Amino acid sequence: MTAMVARFERVQWFGPRAVGIYGIVLGALAFWLMLPPLEARTKVLPVAFGILAAAAGIWSASRGERRVGWGAVVAGLLGIGLGLLATRSSTAHLDSVVVWSSLFAATLRYATPLCYAAIGGLYCERSGVINVALEGMMLSGAFFGVEAAVWAHGWAGNEAWIVGIIGAGISGMVFATIHAIWSIQFKVDQIISGTAINFLALGITGYLFIDKYGDTGTPGDLANYGIPDIHLSFISSIPFIGPIFGQLNLMIWLSFVLLIGTWFFVFRTPYGLRLRSVGEHPRAADTVGINVFKVRYMAVIASGGIAAMGGAYLTLGFVHSFSENITAGTGFIGLAALVFGKWRPFPTYAATLLFGFSSALANNLTTYGDQWGPLFSALPYVLTLVAVAGVIGRSIGPAAAGRPYVKQ
């Protein structure tokens, strides 16, 4: 207790770091004040708060806190921009676009496929194999999940989604195996092999989809045997929490389990240590008797299965149909979240939530006929670009990522 008090007393409330953090908060405020329930209707407020935030950031950056400082500058500028956008639309309009509980529920729905892709990528890249093929693996999961569920519907009835998820996982693992053989065995450039997988998955799923469902589309009753929602009646009456968590899809709950399990596996078990050591310094790992090739193969194949389950959620749990290229960049946002979260499970998940939120907002804006919806869709990519630029702390991946291992 005394230690905490002592630590509390040591905090410099007006040190450069603290001022930088105030700046970030001010930047967020600049936008938040314009939204329900407050809805300030003046342009002065966001501009004032944003400028204050940027000024605090510059002051803090000039005092050596570059990361926090520049973060505050970016937050301030974003706050001004988004705040001004918000003042331009009517309050009734804002009320319909920004309903926080439904927006948060939508955030979880949009974040879940990203979460699967990003966690899949985490295994792969932590083992030292770059995976730009997450998009293709998700797409294959999205299609073959539907395909397996439709096939199983005859004998499995409404539980066909279980077969769907398994089928999706297997299809993702098949594509991942190609990526693994090419990048680990043949030592082909991992970006090139990943790009090839993306093309192949796009072509093969589109080809089979047109051949089988080209005229009719996927079966309309897919929702009946899709992945079910979990109804939690005991919390649905609680305001705010109820609408968010009362009716989530099974795969969303599973993604929480996957997240915590991944953290435990990668950072708290010997297997995770081996995985990370292979990604950081394969030669050293080899010297202590770890089979680098085996670890990498398993990591890449697992990543394909996990990413494909994200695709299965998309088609079997969310939209209940498949169309050509339905993932439309989701896998790449997952990759972005992984980079943004610096290859760590919880920051990565936070990034998927942030990106999911901007997707949800973009979707709501477009539904209500706002022209700047697409700009919110671009936000995840802009933020990731800012992240790799080193503004929010350098984002540096596993040391051996991208380099094939040659055994001596």
Phi/psi for 247 (5° steps) reads -145, 65
Give the span between the Cα atoms of 269 and 126, in whole angstroms.
14
- Which residues inside 307-346 make contact with another protein, applying CB under 8 A? 324-325, 328-329, 332-333, 335-336, 339
Instruction: Give 206 or 272: the residue with its C-beta nearer to another protein.
Output: 206
Nearest to 303 by CA among 270, 329, 338, 251: 338
What's the CA gap between 291 and 293, in Å, rounded?
Answer: 6
**What is the rounded distance in angstroms from the CA atom of residue 2 to the CA atom of residue 231?**
46
81 binding another protein? (CB under 8 A): no
Report in angstroms how near the CB of residue 162 gets to another protein at its nearest. Answer: 27
**Using CB under 8 A as the criterion, what x/- string covers residues 197-236 for binding another protein?**
xxxxxxxx-xx--xx--x----------------------
**Type of residue numbered 35:** L
Phi, psi of 230, deg, nearest 5? -100, 115
Q: Is 364 in the site for another protein (CB under 8 A)?
A: no
Point out which span in 30-38, 104-112, 238-246, 383-391 binds another protein (CB under 8 A).
383-391
User: Does the footprint of another protein cover residue 192 (CB under 8 A)?
Assistant: yes
> What ranges in 127-188 are assigned the alpha helix state H?
134-156, 160-180
Dist CA 30 CA 38 (whole Å): 12
Distance in Å, CB of 407 to another protein, minimum: 11
**347 interacts with another protein by CB under 8 A:** no
Q: Is 390 in the site for another protein (CB under 8 A)?
A: yes
Candidates 90, 154, 371, 406; binder of another protein (CB under 8 A) is 371
Q: Which of 231, 235, 262, 225 is nearest to 249 (CA)?
A: 231
Q: Are 279 and 125 in contact (CB under 8 A)?
A: yes
Q: Which of 70, 104, 182, 318 binds another protein (CB under 8 A)?
A: 182
CB-CB contact of 57 with 20 (8 Å): yes
Assess 184 for contact with another protein (CB under 8 A). Answer: no
Q: Which residues bind another protein (CB under 8 A)?
A: 130, 132, 178, 182, 186, 188-189, 191-193, 195-204, 206-207, 210-211, 214, 324-325, 328-329, 332-333, 335-336, 339, 369, 371-375, 377-378, 381-382, 384-385, 388-390, 394-395, 397
